[in-house]
A and B are shown apart, each in its own frame.
Chain A
Amino acid sequence: GDSVTQMEGPVTLSEEAFLTINCTYTATGYPSLFWYVQYPGEGLQLLLKATKADDKGSNKGFEATYRKETTSFHLEKGSVQVSDSAVYFCALSRGTYKYIFGTGTRLKVLA
């Protein structure tokens, strides 16, 4: 069945460091791919999405490219801030309401 695998956390970085959170998926066909972020005490918020191969989703300085050949959707940001500290979830969907989520990666950014 479909699945999503994320790198384990926590990831601890200094402010202004480069961020990569790896996400790979297993699915047939062309699912839509998502990154959600959960700030402390809040619900999951959609960060970015990509719906077809080679699409790049971007938002708030974060980017992720849908790579069909490597079945990956890695999240990157060039310079993280303390306010980026949160839990990041990678997910896929087949165009319906059913998401398949990864386990989440906790990011901690130190000043």
Chain B
Amino acid sequence: NAGVMQNPRHLVRRRGQEARLRCSPMKGHSHVYWYRQLPEEGLKFMVYLQKENIIDESGMPKERFSAEFPKEGPSILRIQQVVRGDSAAYFCASSPLGGDQETQYFGPGTRLLVL
């Protein structure tokens, strides 16, 4: 059973470009969570999605960031017009429908570097 997969693992963008981060949850999981880890800080919750629904985006910056989890395909975290402060590790986690949401399974993360 494959774990949570994220790609790319490393992404380099110049200021003003767009970054798209993908997350494929574990098989059978329908809840996806995105976290961001800024340098020297802990992981911070960004958004919680179920298929075709954003359940909680209270941790998302108000501008330039968006997330989706379509009926088919991976969850996408999209950052428009990136700035240097967006450089961070972005982790995705998933949990099964009806399961314990406290127990989340994490992917290896995408390291975003904005030049």
Contacts and interface: CB of A to CB of B under 8 A. Distances in A.
Interface string B1-35: 00110100000000000000000000000010101
Contacts of A104: 42
Contacts of B107: 43
Interface string A18-61: 00000000000000100010100111111001000000000000
Contact of B43 (A32, A97, A99): A99
B103 to A, nearest CB: 6
A38 B44 CA distance: 16
Interface of B: 3-4, 6, 31, 33, 35, 37, 40-45, 48, 56, 59, 91, 93, 95, 101-109
B44 A32 contact: no
Contacts of B35: 99, 101
A100 interface: yes
A96 interface: yes
Contact of B106 (A4, A45, A103): A45
Contact of A93 (B41, B93, B102, B108): B102
4 closest A-B pairs by CB: A101-B42, A44-B106, A43-B106, A101-B43
B25 to A, nearest CB: 12
Contacts of A99: 35, 43, 45, 104
